[in-house]
Amino acid sequence: MANKRILVTGGAGFIGSHLCQYLLKQGDEVLCLDNYFTGSKENVRHLIGHPGFELIRHDVVEPILCEVDQIYNLACPASPIHYQYNPIKTTKTSVIGALNMLGLAKRVKATVLQASTSEVYGDPFVHPQREDYWGNVNPNGLRSCYDEGKRCAEALFFDYHRQHGLNMKVARIFNTYGPRMHPQDGRVVSNFIMQALTGQNITVYGNGLQTRSFCYVDDLVEALVRLMNTPDDFVGPVNLGNPGEFTILELANKVIELTGSQSKIIYKPLPQDDPVQRRPDISLAKEKLNWSPFVQLEEGLKRTITYFKTLR
C-alpha cells in the first residue's frame, strides 16, 4: 500500500503528538495542525525536520484547504480546566471544527475520524458503558460545552455519512494518560503525579470512591489507527479505553507508592456533574479492531511519572 498523506488536527496535543509520531514511523506523511491553545510545539519538536512531517499553526474553527487521504480530528481541549476556560470557544471547536473537517473530507474524498469522548455518556445509568447507550448528559451545566459539543459532532459525522456517503469513523475515547500530558490540565493522573512530586497534598474530590478507567496513550494510538483502517462499512461509534476500573482513592495511593511521596490525601467537594462511574465495554473494539489495551496501570504510571520528573 502506498504511503498516505494524513492530517492530524490537534496534532501538537497530548494524544495528537503520539499519533503523529506513530504515523511517521509507519511511513506516512503527516500534516500536524494545531493552534497551541492546549497543545505545544514542544510535544512535536522531535518530529520537526522529519521529511514526512509538516507543522501548521491553524484553528479548526477556520476552514483549511489541503490534499490528504485521511483526517484524524483530535482538535479540542479535553480537560475540564481547559474546556471550561472558554466554553463558547470549546463548543465552536467541536461543532464548527467538525463541520470544517467533514467539508474538507467530502471535497478531497478522504476518510475522517472523529475523536469523540466517553463524556457523551455523561453520568451514566448503565455500567459499563456500551456504544448503544445514549447517555445521561446535563445539556446546560458547566461541562455541557464539551459533552454536548462532542455529541453534536457525532451527529454531524453520521449525517454526512448518511447524506453524502462520506467515509468516516467515530471513536469514543475514555480516560487516557501518559507522557506529554499537560502538567496543569486538571486531570486526575497529572494532578496526582504533580502533587506527589512536589510534596503537596493529594486532592481527592468527593469520597474518592468514584471510579475511572485509565488507558495508556500508546495503546489508544494503536486503536485509533486500527479503527481508521477498518473497512468502509464499519463507522462506529466504538469505545476505546482500558476496561480496568479503579477508584480515585486507589489511584491516589498508587501514585504515592510509586513516587515515594510523603503527600497526604485531602478531600474536597465533588464538582458539578462529575460522573460517579466510568468504564468502557470494549467488546466491539475487540471484535472489529482485534484490539485490547496492553499496558497495565502500574507500568503506565511509572512511565508517566518518569516523564513528569523531567519537567521539574
Task: List, by residue number, the catalytic residues.
Answer: 146
Q: Exposure pattern of 81-90 as b/e (b: 16+ CB <10 Å)? A: ebbbeebebb
HSE-CB at 3 with a 13 A cutoff on CA atoms is: 11
Q: Exposure pattern of 205-222 as b/e (b: 16+ CB <10 Å)? A: eeebebbbbbbbbbbbbb
Contact present, 149 and 94 (Cβ < 8 Å): yes
In terms of DSSP H, where are the helices of 26-141?
Answer: 41-44, 80-85, 87-108
Tell me how far the alpha carbon of residue 33 is from its chain's centroid: 16
20: cell is: 503523529
Contact present, 294 and 221 (Cβ < 8 Å): no
Contact present, 105 and 61 (Cβ < 8 Å): no
- Name residue 5's beta-bridge partners: 29
Q: Return d(Cα 152, Cα 98) in angstroms, integer.
A: 9
Q: Return d(Cα 145, Cα 90) in angstroms, integer.
A: 6
- Name residue 122's beta-bridge partners: 136
Task: Name the CA dihedral angle for 185, 189, 191, 194, rounded to a multiple of 10 degrees.
Answer: -110
Place of cell 489495551: 293
Q: Return d(Cα 212, Cα 280) in angstroms, integer.
A: 9
